[in-house]
Amino acid sequence: MDFVYFCYKMRVLVKIAYWLAALAVLSAILVSLDYTLGQAIFISLLFCPCAILLEYMMPKARKPMDKVYLSLAMLVAIILFILCLHYFVLTGMTPYGWVGKKEVAPMLFNPAFLGLILMVLSLGDYAWSKWVDKRFKAKDRTVTFFSDRKSVTLRLSDISYVESNDTEVRIVTTSGESFRNKTGISQWENLLGDGFLRIHRSYLVNTSFATLSSPDLVTVAGTELPVSRKYKDSVKVLDVNRNL
């Protein structure tokens, strides 16, 4: 079985393995800061929810200042978590029993150190997911979403294009079916990956079915869609692919 195919099918288990490895490395770093192994594991676990939240929320922050505010919020959250853990949980965790008070290591008050850990954890998980998506054939991938309060699962190879209509999007399949969904088209662009191309603020097309019929039009499964000025350069790849 192809290694990438295996990794994709075992994606959840591989993701768990990634986080276990990351926690092991982070725990080793904290042990070097004079924490016991148990204390190091407790503190390492605090970084997981913050890093995962940062990974999934960052693409949704469209404005640069929104990304800054999100990063600062995660830093403040992890500092508060660390303080609470030290003063309410780790107070009695010493080699001699549940006595004494554990002081916070100075490095855990360093925003640059905390930010680096959060960035490495979130980017590592994000890079792994993108690596698998890029190398795995889109025809074997599926996407699950809600349409009219019902869960729908489609193969990416069955989606011809996505159309944005103000407050909702329409997912159109190669068989002519369409499904409504409230997720924004920019989020759909991130979700579907490299096999799909944005040609207009309102249209995202499957490059496997799209051809450039004119500088201003793309034909997808018999349907002509407009190309906006912003995306004219990027859609030229469709004409190149057609001539290969």
pLDDT in tens, 169-211: 999 998 889 999 988 898 898 888 878 899 999 999 998 888 8
CB 238 within 8 A of CB 218: yes
Per-residue pLDDT, 211: 86
CA-based nearest residue to 74, from 123, 127, 24, 117:
117
Query: At the topology level of CATH, where does 139-243 sit?
Result: OB fold (Dihydrolipoamide Acetyltransferase, E2P) (2.40.50)
Per-residue pLDDT, 239: 63
Helix (H) or strand (E) holding 63: none
pLDDT digits (tens, 9 = 90+) for 72-124: 998 999 989 888 887 777 665 555 554 455 678 888 888 889 989 988 888 88
For the chain, give every domain's residue range. Answer: 3-135, 139-243
Q: How do beta strands 168-173 and 159-165 pair?
A: antiparallel
Q: Encode 124-181 in three state secondary structure.
A: HHHHHHHHHHHHCCHHHCEEEEEECCEEEEEEHHHEEEEEEECCEEEEEECCCCEEEE
